Amino acid sequence: MPKISIVLPVYNGLKYLDSAIYSILNQTEQNYEVLICDDASTDGSLSYLKQLENLNHNVRILYNDKNLGLFKTLNKLIKACQSPLIHLWAQDDIMMPNCLEECLNFHNLYPNITMSYHGVEYIDENGLVNPSEKIDGTPSIIDTKLYAILSSKWGCIPGNISNITINTSSIIAVGLFDDQMTLSADFDLWTKLAAVGDIGRIPYKLTYLRLHAAQLSRNYKSIALRIEEDTLIQKRIIGLLAENKDDFNIAKRFWRWKTQPTYFNDLLYLISVKEYDEGKKLAALLYSETNIIGLFFRWSIVRTLRFLKLDIKFYLNILDR
């Protein structure tokens, strides 16, 4: 049995596919299996993958006859895995050579965690690194309460799919990705896993995460849907803190004063780029969740504080009390 399975959904990913896959094959840890599923690509990705399968016995290629979408394809891959651990992967990104080795070491050290995430370096379309000096003081082990506290304040802390390793039995137990979601099923899954056990943070940067305009998550036409799905998740996260009155009230303050004003800012952005239909969807969602006049008032205060570079102090010294 391989120590770890790498699962890679592919849809029209030929441009970066070679570098994404060969960064797996060049890992210092070689006891793995790679499962790749082509989701009815039209750019020649499947032909490339079939050639690769013939050259490497660690690689298995699956394919969908019609496009099923990211999360249904990921679930198909996960069900085919034979390892106790699964590392999720994306067609745009590059693993550092020691990525799998460090992930395995961490899960061997903490065998009861449901999942882990690690640090990333961001690269552009041409592979150039965008340096970041951001310091993450999150501990190595994050229990349910801490996950809920951090996520209610700052959003999805694990981040992207490519820096995630999951305990196979844990993901089966919580029911895989919610494939009825289009954009936020990853955030939803991290929350389900954190609700049933500890998760881990590996304190190393092990992946180059590529940012480019073609990614769905960066498409302004998906803003309203992303916020709709995130809202459902955030409500569940706040609910995880219901047993502690102080933590619960702090989470609700962050929801009203940080998260919702961010959504209102997205609404103004949609209007500025003349995406009126998308703006109407988001406006209707915000109207159903809060008083719009009150939200505008909160947004105005937060924007002023940000202009004065006092927003972080406001969050930490006023909201977080």
pLDDT tens-digit series, residues 282-307: 999 999 999 999 999 999 999 999 99
What pLDDT score was predicted for residue 234?
97
Asked if 111 and 195 touch (Cβ cutoff 8 Å), the reply is no
pTM: 0.93
**What is the pLDDT confidence band of residue 6, given thresholds at 50, 70 and 90?**
very high
- For 220-238, how does the pLDDT look when each residue is reduced to its tens digit (9 = 90+)? 778 999 999 999 999 999 9
- Reduced to 3 states, what is the DSSP secondary structure of residue 11? coil
* Pair 106, 166: CB distance under 8 Å: no
Answer whether residue 218 shows pLDDT above 90. Answer: no
Neighbour count for residue 218 (Cβ, 10 Å) = 10
User: Distance between CA 70 and CA 216 in Å, rounded?
Assistant: 11
**Per-residue model confidence (pLDDT) at position 215:** 54
Question: Is residue 132 over pLDDT 90?
Answer: no
Nearest-angstrom CA–CA distance, 285 and 127: 37
Q: Do strands 85-88 and 164-167 pair parallel, antiparallel, or not at all (unpaired)? A: antiparallel
Q: Is a pLDDT exceeding 70 seen at residue 214?
A: no
CB neighbour list of residue 231: distance below 8 Å, 6 or more residues apart: 285, 289
Of the candidates 203, 177, 192, which has an alpha carbon nearest to the alpha carbon of residue 68?
Answer: 177
pLDDT at 141 over 90: yes
Q: For residue 115, is pLDDT > 70?
A: yes
What is the predicted pLDDT for the residue at 129? Answer: 85
CA distances from 85 to 95, 102, 172, 175, 200 (A): 17, 13, 11, 16, 14
* pLDDT mean over 27-35: 96
Average pLDDT over residues 75-84: 97
